[in-house]
Structure 1
Amino acid sequence: MEVAERLGLEDSTTWKDLDGNNRPFRSFEVWQNIRSRKQPVMWVNAVWFSQCIPRHSFHLWLVIKNKLKTQDRLAVWEAGSETNLRLMCCPLCMTDRDSRDHLFFRCSFAQQVWLTVRSMVNMEDIDGSWQSILGWLDLNASSKKTEYIIGKLVIAASTYFIWQERNNRLFSNNKASAEVVSEKIKGIVRLRLMGFKLKSGATNQRWLKKWNIVSSEAEIDPG
């Protein structure tokens, strides 16, 4: 304090970083020092990427981590009476207890949605099993190609709106058809694509045409 005053300096709080260097105190520096570190998972760039829709990405992260409150997890927690647990079934197809792997996309309702939207990203060879979806995400997570970016958007939007429809049926008794849910998915992805800055070229033009976007709606510019 006295030294600082003699030198005409103001007091400041410093924080020693991981390399032992004194740095100005910021919450960012504290967080970098105290947080645990692990190797990034293979699918990280499939969930979080610059063109993502944040709420969809957060939901997809929960899906991948299997953290949604599906009926199979509630049964493990023994939530509700034994009678209620026996009566649990998927609100979408009414044939099986819902789970992550059932909802995305083995449920007959979800399967209809997936079969409709996957054709928009040339993913006809990817079936409705979650392992198949996750394998595709792992394989193409870091790709910068338009095709794979759109594919990631479609997968995230599909899980988001199928889960939303599941909750609507379970808690408010509102029902939408698989066609309506599919159109919601295509609509939100199309809206996101309209904000893309795409390089000019025949391939990107084909994608714009496939999604019914005229060139003037999407900026054709390297990005």
Structure 2
Amino acid sequence: MLQHLPNTEVELLWGTWFQSKGTSEAYEWFRPKGEQRYWPKFVWKGYIPPKYSFTTWQAILGRLPTRDRLKFLDINRVCPLCNMEPESTSHIFFKCRKSRVTWGKIKAWLGVSRPLTTIQSAIKWMARENFGSAITKRAKWVALAATVSLIWKARNLLVFHSIVFDPNHLVFEIKRVTCTVLYSLYPEDSVVMALGC
């Protein structure tokens, strides 16, 4: 790693490292720097059920087995929800007309007006615009993870069990999950006042 530097520069760096912090500074210089990830602290919250955090985590990393990732299988690549475009993570969660209906109703319920285009942008926006009561803030985080997870679950029920994707039922389930989590954290009347659960 230091072969491309002249000996005098290496000696200067070496002297600087050991005059100030020693090996910790040297370690930081040699350690590969990865991308700073902002989303883990928002996805892995103690009050979000782990199964919803896990699916959201997989979706953010692009690890859900969507049809665009299953190239080794001889299967139809079209989205099973809308039967119009190739299925990908971005399509199934934000571009598919059926999932957009679900997001629209959940956003209206939570008072979110900004268009959501990716899970990462939704997390960034929610982190920046994190205002309102504690109940409303937590409801947004739970609803985000529940929406991603339950859209994926509904997609799988359609693919593997031929159960029709119903956006209205999905919205009901997302609200139920969100309110159940909030009832475990706050008095029932506070949750009802804040969200109408």
Q: TM-score normalized by structure 2? A: 0.73
Conservation of the 8 A alpha-carbon contact between 1:157 and 1:189: yes
Q: Higher helix proportion, which one? A: 2
1:74 aligns with 2:67: no
1:145 aligns with 2:134: yes
Deviation at 1:61, TM superposition (A): 0.8
Deviation at 1:194, TM superposition (A): 0.8
1:190 aligns with 2:179: yes
Deviation at 1:50, TM superposition (A): 2.1
| Structure 2: runs of 5 or more not aligned | 1-32
- The count of corresponding residues between Structure 1 and Structure 2 is 163
Partners of 1:105 and 1:132 lie apart in 2 by 11
Counterpart amino acid of residue 73 in structure 2: G
Runs of 4+ in 1 over 6 A off after TM superposition: 37-40
Distance 1:38 1:197, change over 3 A: farther
Conservation of the 8 A alpha-carbon contact between 1:140 and 1:148: no
Deviation at 1:140, TM superposition (A): 5.9
What is the CA RMSD across the aligned residues, in angstroms? 2.7
Which has the bigger relative contact order, CA under 8 A and spacing at least 6?
2
| Structure 1: runs of 5 or more not aligned | 1-36, 199-203, 214-223
Q: Which residue of structure 2 aligns with residue 164 of structure 1?
A: 153
Partners of 1:195 and 1:68 lie apart in 2 by 30
Counterpart pick for 1:42 among 35, 38, 41: 38
Deviation at 1:197, TM superposition (A): 3.3
Q: TM-score normalized by structure 1? A: 0.65
Q: Which residue of structure 2 aligns with residue 211 of structure 1?
A: 195
Deviation at 1:80, TM superposition (A): 1.8
| SS of alignment partner, residue 70 of structure 2 | helix
